[in-house]
Structure 1
Amino acid sequence: MNVLGIDIGGSGIKGAPVDTTTGRLVAERHRIPTPQPAGPGPVAEVVRALAAHFSWTGPVGVTFPGVVRDGVVMTAANVDRSWIGVDAGELFGGAAVLNDADAAGIAEMTFGEGRGRRGTVLMLTFGTGIGSALFVDGVLVPNTEFGHLELHGKEAEHRASDRAREEHDLSWEKWAERVEEYLRHMEMLLSPALIVVGGGVSKKAAKWLPHIRLDTPVVPAALQNEAGIIGAAQTAAQSGGGRSGVRTAAGADPGAPVPSPGDR
């Protein structure tokens, strides 16, 4: 079953059709910069453009960088706060919507480093923020958002995200020190059997992961930065969600306006 997976991030929104039986992209992924400000209307326009790029009318899964309950956005740390309370599933025309790190974790547990793993597995994605997905014997504990835990009086993602590395012009080794401190905190709290690190930095793991010293095994995500796309598609396929595709919020006319939540 092929499903369009779309991954909404703080800096880019990317998508591709996915073969949900193999976890492989069936077309080259397409990326569009996240609009600024990243409100519901502008982001929905990008979702529509991605669907149009692939001429897509089938099922769709979409990730969101915040807490999502039954398709409704509850938090919005790295996008516009006007998202809070928005029914993203409705906005995206019936697409299945879930937390972005949860989607990446689902993909990694099914097709990647977490496959067949028992016990507690923690997936962390390092990008604009730090996303988290927690699994116990393969079962997801949704919307953990461990990137917002406090370290040294700041949210952890303000110190150890990839954006923090860039903003503070940290070397990979110096950034790894901050990441190790954060991972040790997570290790103390959860005693995981495995930590899987995803996001864009997973493609550059050789530059920083050797500097991490932890009792828990830490491995880069096998699916790297495609995990969110794959997990979104997988969720839509398993839930039967997104059957209407994105026809409401992402119809055939790429230039059609998308109503804001207040207009619906």
Structure 2
Amino acid sequence: MKTTPDQLKILSIDIGGSHIKATILNSKGELLKNYEKVVTPIPASPENVIKSIKTLVKDFPEFDKISVGFPGYVKNGVIKTAPNLGTDLWKDYDFAKNLGAALGKEARVVNDADMQGLGVVNGKGLELVITLGTGFGTAVLLDGNLLPHLEFSHQPFGKSASYDKYIGEAALEKEGVKKWNKRMQKVFEVLKTVFNYDYLYIGGGNSDKLSFKLDKNMKIVSNADGIKGGSRLWKLEEAPKEQPLLTQ
């Protein structure tokens, strides 16, 4: 019997600079199992990452499709940049094709913040999603639809070469939580001015280190919520065709 879209079981994977997480979702984005994780391999080459994913999911229940959130710029399933994994290793690598071949199912790959955005937004107005982890990720959605991905994290900020270097994991460890929070307040002011968003969602492993009061239209979301975007990725008529607007 052919599986209908409403019956799809989707392996949803979130690749980060420190961990790779995965779960299986139904078509509504509901978890069919608790998500599990493994440490991101070093070096994080495509071959090593695929090997880690195969190890992670070897005892998972059966699934029909694969969704992946990747920490870099992705175009039609092909990796263009991977700042926190090693761009030299990943540039022009067809991750969707090769991961699909390795696991025997069709795969779609998008930027990790984009996938998180699909999982957390309410679909009304202009919504901005940011992730605070190894680096700084962003996704912009209008009425629930992904807009072209911006590599906003590569833009200079203050005296720093990029947002990644200004508020990423390395900056947090070097400057400490108190100074990092001051930096985050400056970043939020810029985001308000640049995007004029209706709502801002804040995810990533370092979001729980924010110590100041957020505006009413700002909300911290969990990685578990974000990984649910893997189901919505397969509700799109075709895989998102990301085109760069602001890249360095």
Q: TM-score, normalised by structure 2?
A: 0.83
Aligned residue for 2:37, secondary structure, equals strand
Q: Does 1:20 align with 2:32?
A: no
Say whether the 8 Å CA contact 1:127–1:201 is kept in structure 2. Answer: yes
Partner of 2:108: 96
Quote the sequence identity (%): 30
- d(CA) in 2 for partners of 1:101, 1:195: 13
Q: Does 1:187 align with 2:199?
A: no
Q: How does 1:41-52 map to 2 (within 5 A)?
A: 41-52=47-58
Say whether the 8 Å CA contact 2:124–2:142 is kept in structure 1. Answer: no
Q: Does 1:233 align with 2:242?
A: no
User: What code does the residue aligned with 1:149 have?
Assistant: Q
- d(CA) in 2 for partners of 1:66, 1:170: 26
- d(CA) in 1 for partners of 2:211, 2:155: 22
Q: How does 1:36-185 map to 2 (within 5 A)?
A: 36-81=42-87, 82-93=89-100, 94-109=106-121, 115-118=122-125, 120-151=126-157, 152-165=159-172, 167-168=173-174, 170-171=176-177, 173-185=178-190
Corresponding residue pairs, total: 225
Q: Choose from 9, 15, 19 the match for 1:2.
A: 9
- d(CA) in 1 for partners of 2:151, 2:57: 28
Say whether the 8 Å CA contact 1:66–1:73 is kept in structure 2. Answer: yes
5+ residue gaps in structure 1?
Answer: 110-114, 242-264
Say whether the 8 Å CA contact 1:102–1:142 is kept in structure 2. Answer: no
Where do 4+ consecutive residues of structure 1 move more than 6 Å? Answer: none
Aligned residue for 1:168, secondary structure, equals helix
5+ residue gaps in structure 2?
Answer: 1-7, 101-105, 240-248
Deviations 1:15-51 (A, max 9, x none): 0011231x22221111000001101000011121222
Say whether the 8 Å CA contact 2:10–2:63 is kept in structure 1. Answer: no
Per mean C-alpha deviation after superposition, the further-off stretch among 88-97 and 155-164 is 155-164
RMSD after superposition:
2.1
User: What code does the residue aligned with 2:218 have?
Assistant: V
Say whether the 8 Å CA contact 1:3–1:234 is kept in structure 2. Answer: no
Say whether the 8 Å CA contact 1:199–1:225 is kept in structure 2. Answer: yes
User: What code does the residue aligned with 1:208 have?
Assistant: S
Shift of 1:163: 4.3
